[in-house]
Structures are given as structure tokens and as C-alpha cells.
Amino acid sequence: MLRHYALDLKNDPELIAAYDAWHRKVWPEVLEHLRQSGITRCTIHRAGNRLFMSVESSTGAATDGGGAALPARVQEWEELMDTFQQRLPFAKPGEKWVELRTIFDWKASE
């Protein structure tokens, strides 16, 4: 299952650079949590201060644990990342990453 999400960063060049730097050295405990959650691939792309995340999972798992309690080190990472992030104006209360709805999907025939 492939899902896509969006989120904004605070529009501050120094914070954006720091966020990028943290994602070049994601903590091993965070990566292990993703793996144990059934996530097989996670990519984050940035345009300005807007983030787009794609998550591949065999279980439909969410990167945030889907509301379940997170291991302490993963929760620490989430709290650190939250200092860089801001919710989209249309996000629901408590919603961090907003799932994108596919409106066009085309593939050339072989």
C-alpha cells in the first residue's frame, strides 16, 4: 500500500536547513520503529517549506504509529521534529501529516 502525505515547515531558512540535516542522520531507533511497523519505504520531498512524504507499507501502517504509544526515543524524535513543523491550515485537530487524495493516476501501456 502506498500513501502520500503533506506538511509544512516553519518558513525559516535556518530551521529548514536544520530539518534537512536531521533527515540525513535519522536516529536508528526511528528507522527500526518504521521497519517494525511494517513500513518498507518512506521518502520525504521538500519544495520550499512544504513537505511531501510517501510511505510504502504492507500493513497500511502510519509513520506516527497510528495513534499508538511510541517508544520513548521515537517520541523524542517526534517532539524534536515538531519544533520545525507547522500544521497545514486545513488539518484536523491533532493531525500532523495530512494524507493526500489521489486525483490523477496515469500509466503508459507497455
Buried b (16+ CB within 10 A) or exposed e, 5-33: bebbbeeeeeebeebeeeeeeeeeebeeb
What DSSP line would sit under 21-67, residue for residue? Answer: HHTTS--HHHHHHHHHTTEEEEEEEEETTEEEEEEEESS---TTGGG
What is the pTM for the complete model shown? Answer: 0.88
- Spell out the domain ranges in the chain: 2-92
Cell numbers found for residue 20? 534537512
Structurally, what CATH architecture does the domain formed by 2-92 represent? 2-Layer Sandwich (3.30)
Percent of the chain with pLDDT over 70: 94
pLDDT at 43: 97
Q: What is the per-residue pLDDT across 64-109, written as a single tens digit (0 to 9) for each?
A: 655 678 999 999 999 999 999 999 999 999 899 999 999 999 999 8
pLDDT at 66: 59
pLDDT at 65: 55
Q: What is the per-residue pLDDT across 47-58, written as a single tens digit (0 to 9) for each?
A: 999 999 999 998
CA–CA separation, 20 and 81 (whole Å):
11
